[in-house]
């Protein structure tokens, strides 16, 4: 009977879908539940079947203009109204406006005596009446299995259920039937035998004391659907399923670069900082200043006008605001201006998926441009490595899809610098900054280096970074023969180098002075030589003059002698001009 019903109404064309309005579910099922057919929602106690069903109806009535009938076999109308009011569903108002009819079917086995043949026509009549009274398009039967407890004759019941599901199809309503999950089959009483079009399994699992809800579309006849288990949560606005594994690698990328807030770090990345929309991993051992660096990044982004959402898993917002004030970061004004928002939660509060779901909701609500998770490793405690990687992948995918820049801090434990989980996680990240402690000479100093930066030229130098009351700054680390010099050694090294430079300068000056002195000496000697030369020259001239005089005297004497001897050979010579004069001068 059920098969005939199903086959007669499955045309070659794509199946008409009935959107549930439940966040994410319509994406998994590519459109919703099969329209005009019953869907079985099964799961254990407390996994959210009733809320699922209620949301299906409420969304139908409020968003899709499809009135609905809620037949409850367990909860009374009043109970149901107050239960779903916690999700913000105004069931009472909807019933008043005739958008939803609540019908509580109450069966008490002890009141019922069975004699002879019967059928469930009464239920059909009730349902039919309820559907017709508001022209309902949606029906919820929660939980039909109560009938098994209330009615003794299972054979009749099964025959009637079969008739009921067929009747629902003929009626053309989209129905959600909830059922308890059984041990060996999907439902305790094998209802899946009758509802063959769509089966959704809800699950509430506890792993390491942390419970996570999962939803899986077990079966969806005639339609493609995601077959994975999808985490879902019941929040203030109803259910939300996270179909995040469907996200592919086709994000748009931005060429815009954004500053990190530490000028020297930007300089290490070609002077322009990181790409907008990229993911940054910041790993470090305890006390290396991961949170401070992250807060610095947050402040720079918020000052730029970007909205920043800061997820804290270790500190409270007030604590971080106070702590950051001590290093000169003033976060309160940014919070007040609505540019910075903290979301603090203990990692052990709930499961990974729940955390992820909460983060998604926060991100969707706040629409940030920058998301910071401090630290992502806290979440490792809430799940296995594999799960965490899956979660981070989905988170990164989600953030990249929205062009949101993300910074994840990751705690490494002392001793080994890189842990397996981080290596696994780092492959998902675009950039990886490593903060390290360097211990030596009786002190510990912090080092930072860029381990990877996709698509950016970056410095391969290790820098020392200093946290002071004026913020964070990077300084060059000295690489000495014994390794990297930091802190006091770096200062000592700097002083040493300064002293050496000073000594060099002094030496040069000394040489200059010596040279000056040499030149002076030389000049003196030159002057002395010159004066000596001049003396000698003067002497020479005197000697010359003496010699001339003597010659003239001699000549004069000879001339005189010759005159006296009356010789004439010399006369001409005696008449040479000047000679009588020079004789006269002397």
d(CA 538, CA 517): 31
34: left (phi over 0), alpha (psi -120 to 50) or beta: beta
Q: For residue 230, give the 3-state DSSP assignment.
A: strand
Least Å distance between CB 390 and another protein?
Answer: 46
Residue 176: is the preceding peptide bond cis (ω within 30°)? no
Least Å distance between CB 112 and another protein?
Answer: 5
d(CA 295, CA 312): 11
β 38-43/174-180 pair status: parallel
Nearer to another protein, 154 or 523 (CB): 154
Least Å distance between CB 117 and another protein?
Answer: 5
d(CA 165, CA 379): 45
Least Å distance between CB 125 and another protein?
Answer: 4
Nearer to another protein, 51 or 168 (CB): 168
Least Å distance between CB 25 and another protein?
Answer: 31
Least Å distance between CB 157 and another protein?
Answer: 10
Q: What are phi and psi of 198, to 5 degrees?
A: -150, 130
d(CA 53, CA 48): 9
Q: Which of 245, 300, 311 is nearest to 276 (CA)?
A: 300
Nearer to another protein, 125 or 545 (CB): 125
Residue 126: is the preceding peptide bond cis (ω within 30°)? no
Nearer to another protein, 105 or 302 (CB): 105
Nearer to another protein, 126 or 303 (CB): 126
Nearer to another protein, 105 or 339 (CB): 105
Q: Name the maximum alpha-carbon separation found in the chain.
A: 202
Least Å distance between CB 145 and another protein?
Answer: 14
Nearer to another protein, 3 or 110 (CB): 110
Least Å distance between CB 148 and another protein?
Answer: 13
Least Å distance between CB 155 and another protein?
Answer: 13
Pair 493, 485: CB distance under 8 Å: yes
Helix (H) or strand (E) holding 76: none
CB-based contacts of 313, cutoff 8 Å, min separation 6: 344, 345, 346, 347, 373, 374, 375, 378, 379
Nearer to another protein, 87 or 151 (CB): 151
Pair 148, 156: CB distance under 8 Å: no
d(CA 70, CA 79): 13
Task: Give the number of C-alpha atoms closer than 13 A to the C-alpha of residue 39, restricted to the C-beta side.
Answer: 31
Least Å distance between CB 43 and another protein?
Answer: 25
Nearer to another protein, 129 or 542 (CB): 129
Least Å distance between CB 171 and another protein?
Answer: 14
Q: Which of 279, 292, 289, 266 is nearest to 426 (CA)?
A: 279
CB-based contacts of 386, cutoff 8 Å, min separation 6: none
Least Å distance between CB 210 and another protein?
Answer: 41
Nearer to another protein, 157 or 295 (CB): 157
Least Å distance between CB 131 and another protein?
Answer: 10
Residues linked to residue 408 through DSSP beta bridges, in sequence order: 281, 373
Q: What are the tokens at 16?
A: 């008409």
Pair 512, 465: CB distance under 8 Å: no
Least Å distance between CB 141 and another protein?
Answer: 12
- Interface with another protein (CB under 8 A): 103, 105-107, 111-126, 128-129, 147, 150-151
**What is each CA distance from 10 to 6, 14, 66, 221, 575, in whole angstroms?**
6, 9, 22, 9, 159
Pair 215, 59: CB distance under 8 Å: no
Nearer to another protein, 71 or 296 (CB): 71
Q: What are phi and psi of 263, to 5 degrees?
A: -55, -40
Nearer to another protein, 111 or 184 (CB): 111
Nearer to another protein, 11 or 116 (CB): 116
Nearer to another protein, 114 or 500 (CB): 114
d(CA 556, CA 357): 137
Pair 244, 353: CB distance under 8 Å: no
β 308-312/370-374 pair status: parallel
């Amino acid at each position: 009977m059920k098969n005939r019903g199903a086959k007669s109404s499955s045309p070659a064309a794509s199946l008409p879908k009935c959107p549930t309005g439940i966040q994410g579910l319509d994406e998994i099922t590519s459109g919703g539940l099969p329209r005009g057919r019953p869907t079985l929602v099964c799961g254990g106690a407390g996994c959210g079947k009733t809320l699922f069903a209620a949301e299906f109806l409420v969304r139908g009535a409020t968003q899709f203009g499809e009135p609905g009938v809620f037949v409850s076999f367990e909860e009374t109308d009043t109970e149901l109204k107050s239960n779903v009011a916690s999700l913000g569903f105004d069931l009472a108002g909807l019933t008043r406006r005739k958008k939803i009819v609540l019908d509580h079917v109450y069966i008490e086995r002890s009141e019922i005596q069975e004699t002879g043949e019967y059928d469930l026509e009464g239920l059909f009549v009730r349902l039919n009446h309820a559907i017709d009274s508001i022209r309902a398009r949606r029906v919820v039967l929660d939980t039909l299995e109560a009938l098994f407890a209330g009615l003794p004759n299972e054979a009749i019941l099964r025959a009637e259920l079969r008739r009921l599901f067929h009747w629902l199809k003929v009626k053309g309503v989209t129905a959600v039937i909830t059922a308890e999950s059984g041990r060996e089959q999907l439902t305790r009483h094998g209802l899946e035998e009758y509802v063959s079009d769509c089966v959704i399994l809800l699950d509430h699992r506890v792993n390491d004391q942390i419970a996570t809800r999962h939803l899986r579309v077990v079966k969806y006849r005639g339609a493609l659907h995601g077959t994975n288990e999808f985490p879902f949560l019941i929040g203030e606005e109803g259910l939300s399923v996270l179909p995040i594994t469907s996200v592919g690698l086709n994000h748009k990328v931005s060429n815009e670069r954004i500053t990190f807030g530490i000028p020297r770090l930007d300089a290490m990345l070609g002077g322009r900082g990181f790409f907008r929309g990229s993911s940054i991993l910041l790993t470090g051992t305890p006390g290396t200043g991961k949170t401070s660096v992250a807060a610095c990044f947050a402040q720079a982004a918020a000052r730029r006008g970007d909205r920043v959402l800061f997820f804290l898993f270790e500190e409270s917002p007030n604590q971080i605001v106070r702590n950051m004030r001590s290093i000169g970061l003033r976060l309160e004004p940014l919070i007040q201006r609505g540019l910075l928002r903290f979301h603090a939660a203990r990692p052990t509060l709930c499961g990974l998926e729940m955390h992820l779901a909460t983060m998604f909701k926060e991100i969707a609500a706040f629409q940030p441009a920058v998301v910071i998770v401090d630290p992502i490793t806290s979440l490792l405690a809430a799940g296995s490595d594999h799960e965490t990687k899956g979660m981070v992948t989905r988170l990164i995918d989600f953030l990249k899809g929205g062009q949101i820049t993300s910074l994840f801090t990751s705690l490494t434990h002392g001793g080994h610098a890189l842990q397996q989980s981080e290596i696994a996680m780092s492959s998902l990240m675009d950039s990886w900054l490593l903060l390290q402690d360097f211990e030596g000479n009786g002190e510990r100093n912090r080092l930072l280096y860029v381990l990877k930066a996709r698509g950016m030229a970056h410095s391969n130098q290790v820098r020392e970074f200093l946290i002071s009351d004026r913020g964070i700054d990077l300084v060059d680390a000295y690489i000495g023969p014994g390794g990297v010099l930091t802190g006091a050694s770096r200062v000592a090294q700097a002083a040493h180098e300064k002293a050496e430079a000073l000594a060099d300068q002094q030496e040069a000056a000394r040489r200059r002075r010596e040279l000056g002195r040499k030149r002076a000496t030389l000049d003196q000697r030159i002057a002395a030589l010159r004066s000596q030369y001049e003396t000698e020259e003067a002497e020479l001239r005197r000697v010359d003059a003496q010699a001339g005089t003597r010659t003239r005297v001699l000549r004069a004497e000879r001339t005189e002698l010759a005159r006296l001897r009356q010789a004439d050979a010399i006369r001409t010579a005696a008449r040479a001009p000047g000679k009588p004069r020079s004789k006269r001068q002397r």
